[in-house]
């Protein structure tokens, strides 16, 4: 039963990634930069709430109930956060900062300025997508419905703007559409592959390691959520809207958790 759940969630993440990633290759929806920022901000709020309200408490409980020391519990969260930071520092960033400059006099169209090494950006985003798969796969193994639903929602809400950005970025950087499709496919496959790898590799390990895996994933959620919105928050022109986006995303997650608890679909406590 759990195996079929893992396969189903892998298929869902693949479909969402491909759909959002291929969209800007064939439509002009890529011009809606404001919509992309709103999606990213709301996703940051959902990620933040998922990490602080569900993933970290659940991971903490699993780890502590199985004899893991407090320092190691905190260390797993810190390791997740620092892993993302190190990837960013070595050029495998998860965020594509797009700066639209008007070059109509020179080119007759808007130009999108990106980092020079396109391959490292796509690889970096795909590596970050692997951590999403780790989070979902580990959540399925805990057999906690509320954890699985909250982690899945957080990943999917974040994956839409992330995949969209991959497609948009690749469309501007690659000479051929086939190369852009390859980039989107690489990014989209990372999460479902890691869901299955995590599910089958961690299925026989002790709950100690499972709890630490959840905590590690929670640390990556915290990093992505904060880094996605901090640049916007620090700008006076965008700070208020970024705050609204994050709060809205967090409230969406809180509302979902309350609905799950009230309807008895998934209890918030054990």
Tens-place pLDDT, residues 182-227:
999 999 999 999 999 999 988 878 888 999 999 999 999 999 988 8
- Residues in the chain where the model's pLDDT stays below 70: 1-2, 28-33, 93-118, 266-270
Give the pLDDT confidence score for residue 76 in this predicted structure: 96
Cα(114)–Cα(231) distance, integer angstroms:
16
Give the pLDDT confidence score for residue 174 in this predicted structure: 81
Question: What's the Cα-to-Cα distance from 34 to each of 107, 173, 231, 241, 245, rounded to whole Å?
Answer: 23, 21, 15, 11, 12
Give the pLDDT confidence score for residue 169 in this predicted structure: 83
Give the pLDDT confidence score for residue 67 in this predicted structure: 87
Give the pLDDT confidence score for residue 33 in this predicted structure: 65
Give the pLDDT confidence score for residue 171 in this predicted structure: 82
Cα(45)–Cα(84) distance, integer angstroms:
18
What is the value of pTM for the model shown?
A: 0.85
């Amino acid at each position: 039963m759990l195996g079929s759940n893992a396969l189903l969630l892998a298929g869902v993440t693949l479909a969402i990634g491909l759909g959002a990633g291929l969209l800007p290759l064939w439509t002009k929806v890529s011009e809606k930069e404001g919509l992309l920022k709103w999606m990213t901000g709301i996703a940051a709020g959902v990620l933040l709430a998922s990490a602080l309200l569900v993933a970290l408490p659940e991971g903490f409980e699993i780890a502590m109930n199985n004899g893991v020391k407090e320092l190691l519990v905190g260390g797993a969260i810190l390791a997740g956060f620092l892993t993302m930071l190190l990837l960013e520092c070595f050029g495998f960033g998860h965020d594509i900062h797009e700066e639209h400059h008007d070059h109509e006099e020179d080119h007759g169209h808007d130009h999108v300025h990106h980092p020079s090494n396109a391959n490292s950006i796509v690889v970096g985003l795909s590596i970050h997508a692997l951590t999403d798969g780790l989070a979902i796969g580990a959540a399925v193994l805990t057999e906690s419905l509320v954890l699985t639903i909250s982690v899945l929602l957080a990943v999917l809400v974040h994956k839409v703007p992330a995949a969209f950005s991959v497609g948009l970025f690749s469309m501007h950087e690659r000479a051929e559409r086939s190369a852009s499709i390859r980039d989107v496919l690489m990014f989209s496959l990372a999460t479902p592959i890691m869901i299955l790898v995590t599910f089958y590799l961690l299925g026989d390990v002790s709950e100690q390691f499972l709890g630490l895996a959840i905590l590690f994933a929670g640390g990556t959620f915290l990093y992505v959520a904060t880094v996605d919105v901090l640049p916007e928050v620090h700008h006076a022109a965008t700070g208020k809207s970024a705050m609204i986006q994050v709060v809205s995303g967090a409230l969406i997650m809180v509302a979902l958790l309350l609905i799950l608890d009230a309807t008895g679909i998934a209890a918030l406590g054990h």
